[in-house]
A and B are shown apart, each in its own frame.
Chain A
């Protein structure tokens, strides 16, 4: 598996502001994903972060609200824009390792929007 880190680990933000979450992995991976986990709920895929091209978003998620970057094979960012209390969630990145059909998850970012 890989060592995956996320920053920040948690944050409390005001309505209308934006927060950028970073995901760093210690080895090259094929795919990087971003998930949202609302309180008491399961995980929902937001988008796939593609290296060198635009992210691929799932139904119900749009680039204006959740812009994603992936400048290289080991790093990605997710921005939660114009936040509202409904965005309070845990945001997790995951990676697919080369030659390994398993997604490994980062420690998550616990976001609270007031």
Chain B
């Protein structure tokens, strides 16, 4: 069965530090998607990125970057020059084939990031 492990429960950094959030996954599927979502204190879940299992290119979006390595089944997320507004819980998720051709999401337990001024 699919599984997502986020070993870091909580991380605390000082503003402007770089921080990496780890995500390790398990799946028997050859085709799948990986996701990162951000959940600020307000509670909504904000989509950050989707990565196809066939695309191992790293991606950068502003201060955010993602490193996908199939060899180690990891999809790590780095925030460069962190800011207080980055404080949130971050979830990594893995898709699982589901009914109607859609995908079901399996979530990790989340990493709570606190960025202190």
Task: Please determine whether chains A and B interact with each other in the same assembly.
Answer: yes
**What separation, in Å, do the CA atoms of A56 and B42 have in the docked complex?**
29
CB contacts (< 8 Å) of A92 on chain B: these are: 45
B107 at interface, CB cutoff 8 A: yes
Measured as residues with beta carbon below 8 angstroms from the partner, the interface class of chain B is: 20 to 34
Task: Answer whether residue B25 sits at the interface, using C-beta atoms and an 8 A cutoff.
Answer: no
Interchain CA distance A43-B105 in the complex, whole Å:
9
Would you call A7 an interface residue if the criterion is a C-beta within 8 Å of the partner chain's C-beta atoms? no
In the docked arrangement, what's the CA distance between A6 and B60, Å? 32
User: Quick one: which of A45, A90, A106, A107 contacts B105, CB cutoff 8 A?
Assistant: A45
Determine the chain A residues whose CB is within 8 A of the CB of B95 once the complex forms: 101
Count contacts between A and B, CB distance < 8 Å.
Answer: 55
Is the pair A43, B102 in contact by a Cβ cutoff of 8 Å?
Answer: no
- Near A by CB (< 8 A), chain B positions 61-117 give 91, 95, 98-105, 107-110
- In chain A between 41 and 63, which residues have their CB closer than 8 angstroms to a CB of chain B? 41-43, 45, 48, 56
**A81 → B minimal CB distance (Å):** 23
CB distance A102 to B102 under 8 Å?
A: no
Q: Is the CB of A30 within 8 A of B100?
A: yes
**Residues from chain A with Cβ under 8 Å of B98 in the complex:** 31, 48
Complex contact A101–B44 (CB within 8 A): no
Contact check, B91 vs A43: say whether CB atoms are below 8 A apart: yes
Interface residues in A86-108 by Cβ distance below 8 A to B read 90, 92, 94, 96, 101-108
With both beta carbons as reference points, the residue of chain A lying nearest to B43 in the complex is identified as A108
- The residues of A that contact B91 with a CB separation of less than 8 Å are 42-43
**Residue contact A42 to B99, C-beta cutoff 8 Å:** no
Known contacts A1-B47, A90-B43, A101-B50, A42 near B109 by CB under 8 Å: yes
Given A102-B47, A105-B45, 7 extra CB contacts under 8 A: A30-B100, A30-B101, A41-B109, A48-B102, A101-B50, A105-B44, A108-B44
B residues neighboring A (CB under 8 Å): 33, 35, 37, 42-47, 50, 91, 95, 98-105, 107-110
